[in-house]
Chains A and B, each alone.
Chain A
Amino acid sequence: MTAASDSPVEVTLTSDSDVVRVRQVVRDAATAAALTLVDQTKVITAASEIARNTLTYGGGGTSTVEVVCRNGTQGVAVEFVDAGPGIHDVDLALTDGWTSGTGLGLGLSGAKRLVDEFALDTTPGVGTTVRITKWRR
């Protein structure tokens, strides 16, 4: 399964095996975008964190993985969409060590550090969308 620049790959997130699938699809895209090994590992790990958040806190959702291009630079973008309860306090959710569940509280804040762009859009009661991008150096 290779993510070509013109065809985003969608992964439905309903169980923990889907988190593994997201990692594989992001790896394919990161390889296609010719990211360095460290950057590949970073974006895969970030995607894994957010995929698990989508699953655990968002009650499942979808992720879309694509190879993107801006000003001649390739990158990988992954978008996660859920229709869960949303995040009531985004600043708090992005604080290291804070968790509303039983995790380590590194998911969102850690993922944000691992990527170049991080956009979080959430509405309580409606859902959450997170988009991360890692660009080729």
Chain B
Amino acid sequence: MIDRIPVLRIEDILLVSIQVDLQDHIAIQLQDDLSNKIVETGAKGVLIDISGLSVVDSFIGRMISTTASVSRVLDAETVLVGMQPAVAITLVELGLTLDGVRTALNVDRGLRLLRADIATRNLMSGAGDDRSFG
């Protein structure tokens, strides 16, 4: 039985792939690990792949929402990818809206979304610096 989901770092993006049915305490551990790792690495993006999850209930959904909110406060954007169609249908019917969580179809698109987002944010902070000279 695993007790931790590994968090991988690819440049300024953290990648998490959940491939096992999540026990509640592992979900909470993951939330802690991710926020610590964002601070530790200064990551600008978090990619959570749930293609291996065949069930997302309100507890796991809330964990994902909270993780996205915490990440945003720590200046990192979260993108959730790989949701199975049956999971999406069930989540909507359950009434879970995953507020504030951006989604993409797969890891590839999620990465592109995050890269574009990070580039824009870097540009904006750059533009802000320019203005301060004027």
Contacts and interface: CB of A to CB of B under 8 A. Distances in A.
A19 B58 CA distance: 13
Interface residues of B, number: 23
Interface string B34-58: 0000000000000000000011111
B58 A41 contact: no
A23 B54 CA distance: 10
Nearest to A41: B86
Interface string A101-137: 0011011011101100000000000000000000000
Contacts of A109: 95
A103 B66 CA distance: 12
A76 to B, nearest CB: 14
Interface residues of A, number: 27
Nearest to B84: A41
B131 interface: no
A103 B57 CA distance: 12
A16 B60 CA distance: 12
A52 B57 contact: yes
A45 interface: yes
Interface of A: 16-17, 19-20, 23-24, 27, 37-38, 40-42, 44-45, 48-49, 52, 96, 103-104, 106-107, 109-111, 113-114
